[in-house]
Copies of this chain bind each other. A is one copy, B any other.
Amino acid sequence: MLELSEPALDDVFRALSNPSRRAMLARLSDGPASLSDLARPLDMTLAAVEQHFKVLERCDLVRSNKVGRIRTCRLEPDTVRATEQWLGVLCADWERQLDRLGAFLDGTPTDQDGNQ
């Protein structure tokens, strides 16, 4: 599984924080599209959409290649999954901590120490 560095996580979450960019990703999860395709439902100039796309591409949420005058854009699901996993670990840690607490309240000994 792809592991994202801290700066990469900055960029991925930043990229995901914009609704137009999320709409572009959602569109791409349905299949490849040109920049104009991505722009069509969005209420902004093509130049703006291109800038949004570059943000997504710089952090590897998407990739693209240009043939003729058409740039074809695709989702890059590895990065999406790596991001999902980061959140998963956060929840897992939380649940592990709740388990330890529950065990403590039950009077059951915990063998996983390391409380701080």
A residues lining the B interface (CB < 8 Å): 6-7, 9-11, 13-14, 16-19, 22, 25-26, 28-31, 75, 77, 80-81, 83-84, 87-88, 90-91, 93-95, 97, 101, 115-116
Q: Are B97 and A90 in contact (CB under 8 A)?
A: no
Q: Looking at the complex, which one of B9, B29, B94 makes contact with A94 (CB distance below 8 Å)?
A: B29
Q: How far is the CB of A95 from chain B (nearest CB, A)?
A: 7
A90: contacting residue among B11, B26, B95, CB under 8 A: B26
Q: How far is the CB of A44 from chain B (nearest CB, A)?
A: 16
State which of B75, B84, B90, B97 has its C-beta within 8 Å of the C-beta of A88: B84
CA A87 to CA B83, docked complex, whole Å: 8
